[in-house]
């Protein structure tokens, strides 16, 4: 491997973002990731550990860690937080104090979806200090507001993690 190849790989590494996706089981985490990577969402099975999807997005490499939401797995969520730039959903973990928080209120295409106002109040988002956060109503099935949510989190991470070249 030549010096230019090594330098290029180091440069590419600088543009990587690690995103942790957590939430209760059957919240739609895997469906959203499948939709973002162009996979079929009609057949989605529960994630019983974790899976990683890598996505090229607007000049960045997004390494998205999808962690299962079953009760028996939740105690392990904190093990995935090291080096995380963004959390999609809420985790109370000190190591994530400066991470971007994007709450994707999925399944908004369903009639009984919880409103953004209800989520905002239940999670007491106004009390969050030290994190940039935003709550997006979205649908992994129809793509409504999903791209806007990902745009916001990529812009937010880039604004405080990566310096101008």
The number of angstroms, rounded, from the C-alpha of 5 to the middle of its chain's C-alpha atoms is 30
Give the mean model confidence (pLDDT) for residues 45-49: 84
Provide the pLDDT for residue 92.
Answer: 42
Q: What is the pLDDT of residues 61-98, one digit of tens each?
A: 999 988 888 888 888 787 878 888 888 874 445 656 67
What are the beta bridge partners of residue 50? 67
Domain annotation for the chain: domains and CATH numbers: 13-159 (3.40.50.300)
Whether 24 has a binding-site annotation, put simply, is: yes
pLDDT of 78 reads 79
pLDDT of residue 17: 92
> According to the model, what pLDDT value does residue 164 have?
52
Between 164 and 49, name the one with better pLDDT.
Answer: 49
The string of DSSP letters for 14-43 reads: HTEEEEEE--STTSSHHHHHHHHTT---SS
User: 3-class SS at 138?
Assistant: coil
| Number of Cβ within a 10 Å radius of residue 45 | 6
Residues 110-156 have pLDDT tens digits of: 988 889 999 888 888 888 877 788 899 999 889 899 999 999 999 99
Count how many residues are written for the chain: 165
83 is in an annotated binding site: no
Pick the catalytic residue from 70, 117, 124, 164: 70
How do 60-67 and 100-105 pair as beta strands? unpaired
> In this predicted structure, what is the pLDDT of residue 91?
42
45 pLDDT exceeds 90?
no
The residue-averaged pLDDT of 10-15 equals 65
108 annotated ligand-binding residue: yes
**Which own/partner pairs from 41-48 qualify as long-range (CB within 8 Å, at least 24 positions apart)?**
41/140, 41/141, 46/70, 48/73
pLDDT on residue 138? 92
Residue 121 is assigned to a ligand binding site:
no
Is-catalytic flag, 70?
Answer: yes
The annotation status of 27 as a binding-site residue, yes or no, is: yes
Per the CB < 8 A criterion, the answer to whether 90 and 102 are in contact is no
């Amino acid at each position: 491997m030549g010096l230019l190849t090594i330098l290029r790989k180091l440069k590419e590494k600088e543009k990587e973002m690690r995103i942790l996706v957590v939430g209760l089981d059957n919240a739609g985490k895997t469906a959203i990731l499948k939709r973002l990577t162009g996979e079929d969402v009609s057949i989605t099975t529960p994630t019983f550990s974790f899976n990683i999807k890598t996505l090229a997005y607007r000049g960045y490499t997004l390494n998205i860690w999808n962690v299962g939401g079953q009760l028996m797995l939740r105690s392990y969520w904190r093990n995935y937080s090291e080096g995380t730039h963004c959390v999609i959903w809420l985790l109370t973990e000190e190591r994530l104090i400066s991470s971007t928080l994007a709450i994707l209120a999925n399944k908004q295409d369903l009639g009984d979806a919880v409103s953004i106002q209800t989520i905002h109040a239940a999670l007491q988002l106004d009390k969050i200090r030290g994190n940039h956060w935003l709550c997006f109503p979205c649908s992994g099935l129809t793509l409504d507001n999903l791209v806007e949510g990902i745009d916001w989190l990529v812009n937010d991470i880039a604004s405080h993690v990566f310096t101008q070249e």
